[in-house]
């Protein structure tokens, strides 16, 4: 076994390992002997000895006014590990509270116009890559609204989805124009379903496990971003419910490549 690597894993640095191993072999000894044995600079040896004493891996006594050091019994490592295990167990509940608190934090941002629209799409795609690589879209806004808002950046959007291998699953009203349904369904990595009733609001809601964005198509597009995992989970559950009820749209011109 490589003792040096093992002791480093237990938290000692290389110099502390050399000094500790020297102490074990020398027994009760002066610092000068440790310097010779370890071949380290005197100051480095003293710094290492101070650390080993702090960790209770070494101790010192004065013999005729001469300071001498000795290594503690190696069993001390078991005690140190036991202390650390007890400490970890005691702080885990507090850490879990912090984690829960972070998950419950709510942040809302409002973006406007073309630049905000593009920034929102980029953020959603990157978040989706951290999960199942699916962007779920729900809403009653006409397809023309989206394509007008994305404008010349549409090709960049398609390339971004392709780069990160993110699919789009959308639920739209059955009354949505055939032109939009054909265009969407013919894109790669898409699934489009429709509902005969509901989804009358002229908005599109894009859903990921970390953030939900609501696009409001007015004279100047407004995007509301909601960063909260609990809220996102609620939207995901609603989407899945509607997804089961909706009807898959099949393009007559082209069969979309789907991601299951």
| Confidence category of residue 142, pLDDT binned at 50, 70, 90 | confident
Question: What CATH number does residue 56 fall under?
Answer: 1.10.10.10
Residues 121 and 237 in one domain: yes
Q: Which residues pair with 150 in a beta bridge?
A: none
- Report d(CA 74, CA 121) in Å as an integer: 58
Residues 51 and 147 in one domain: no
The per-residue pLDDT for 218 is 83
Residues 62 and 117 in one domain: no
* Contact (CB, 8 A) for 19 and 52: yes
Per-residue pLDDT averaged across 217-241, rounded?
Answer: 92
Specify if 149 maps to a domain: yes
Specify if 185 maps to a domain: yes
Residues 182 and 226 in one domain: yes
Residues 111 and 227 in one domain: yes
Q: In the sheet where 203-207 sits, what is the strand order?
A: 107-112, 222-227, 211-216, 203-207, 134-139, 167-173, 190-195, 247-248
Condensed to tens digits (0 to 9), the pLDDT of residues 68-122 reads 999 999 998 898 888 888 888 888 888 877 766 655 678 899 999 999 999 999 9
Q: Quote the DSSP letter at residue 29.
A: B
Specify if 18 maps to a domain: yes
Specify if 258 maps to a domain: no
Distance of CA 113 to the CA centre of its chain: 29
Indicate the pTM of the whole model.
0.58
Range of the domain at 190: 105-248
Per-residue pLDDT averaged across 225-244, rounded?
Answer: 94
| Confidence category of residue 259, pLDDT binned at 50, 70, 90 | very low
Structurally, how many domains does the chain consist of?
Answer: 2
Please report the DSSP string for 141-186 in residue order.
--HHHHHHHHGGGHHHHHHHHHHHT-EEEEEEETTS-HHHHHHHHT
Per-residue pLDDT averaged across 130-134, rounded?
Answer: 94
Per-residue pLDDT averaged across 222-231, rounded?
Answer: 93
Residues 42 and 116 in one domain: no
Residue 155: is its pLDDT beyond 60? yes
| Confidence category of residue 256, pLDDT binned at 50, 70, 90 | very low
- Report d(CA 24, CA 97) in Å as an integer: 44
- Report d(CA 169, CA 137) in Å as an integer: 6
Given 51, 71, 91, the domain boundary residue is 71
Specify if 89 maps to a domain: no
Specify if 81 maps to a domain: no
Q: Which residues contact 109 (CB under 8 A, 6 or more apart)?
A: 224, 225, 227
Residue 208: is its pLDDT beyond 80? yes
Residues 63 and 113 in one domain: no
Per-residue pLDDT averaged across 118-147, rounded?
Answer: 92
Q: Which residues pair with 211 in a beta bridge?
A: 227
Residues 187 and 115 in one domain: yes
Report in angstroms the alpha-carbon separations of 100 from 105, 131, 156, 225, 227: 9, 19, 37, 21, 15
* Contact (CB, 8 A) for 170 and 109: no
Residue 231: is its pLDDT beyond 70? yes
Taking all residues of the chain, what is their mean pLDDT, rounded to a whole number?
89
Residues 122 and 54 in one domain: no
Specify if 199 maps to a domain: yes
Specify if 240 maps to a domain: yes
Percent of the chain with pLDDT over 70: 94
Condensed to tens digits (0 to 9), the pLDDT of residues 7-56 reads 988 889 999 999 999 999 999 999 999 999 999 999 999 999 999 999 99
Q: Look at the block and give the residue holding tokens 């000894």.
A: 29
The per-residue pLDDT for 188 is 85
Q: Which residues contact 12 (CB under 8 A, 6 or more apart)?
A: 20
Residues 67 and 131 in one domain: no
Q: Which residue has the higher pLDDT, 181 or 246?
A: 246
Residues 206 and 113 in one domain: yes
142: left (phi over 0), alpha (psi -120 to 50) or beta: beta
Residues 142 and 221 in one domain: yes
Dihedral sign, Cα of residue 157, residue 160, residue 162, residue 168: negative
Q: Which residues contact 203 (CB under 8 A, 6 or more apart)?
A: 139, 140, 141, 214, 215, 216, 217
Given 47, 71, 95, the domain boundary residue is 71
Question: What CATH number does residue 167 fall under?
Answer: 3.30.870.10
Per-residue pLDDT averaged across 127-143, rounded?
Answer: 91
């Amino acid at each position: 076994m490589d003792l040096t690597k093992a002791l480093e894993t237990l938290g000692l640095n290389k110099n502390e390992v050399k000094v500790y191993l020297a102490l074990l072999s020398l027994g009760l000894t002066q610092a000068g002997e440790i310097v010779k044995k370890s071949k380290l600079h005197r100051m480095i040896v003293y710094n290492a000895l101070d650390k080993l004493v702090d960790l209770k891996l070494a101790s010192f006594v004065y013999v005729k006014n001469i300071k001498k050091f000795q290594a503690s019994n190696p069993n001390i490592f078991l005690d140190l590990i036991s202390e650390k295990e007890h400490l970890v167990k005691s702080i885990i509940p507090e850490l879990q509270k912090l984690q829960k608190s972070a998950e419950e934090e709510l942040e809302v941002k409002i973006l406007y116009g073309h630049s905000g629209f593009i920034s929102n799409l980029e953020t959603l795609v990157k978040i989706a890559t951290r999960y199942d690589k699916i962007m779920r879209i729900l809403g009653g806004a006409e397809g023309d609204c989206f394509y007008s808002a994305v404008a010349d950046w549409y090709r960049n959007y398609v390339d971004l989805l392709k780069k990160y291998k993110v699919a789009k699953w959308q639920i739209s009203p059955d009354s949505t124009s055939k032109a939009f349904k054909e265009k969407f369904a013919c894109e790669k990595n898409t699934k489009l379903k429709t509902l005969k009733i509901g989804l009358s609001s002229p908005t599109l809601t894009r859903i990921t496990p970390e953030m939900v964005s609501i696009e409001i198509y007015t004279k100047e597009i407004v995007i509301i971003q909601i960063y909260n995992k609990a809220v996102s989970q609620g939207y995901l559950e609603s989407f899945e419910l509607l997804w089961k009820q909706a009807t898959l749209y099949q393009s007559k011109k082209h069969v979309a490549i789907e991601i299951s």
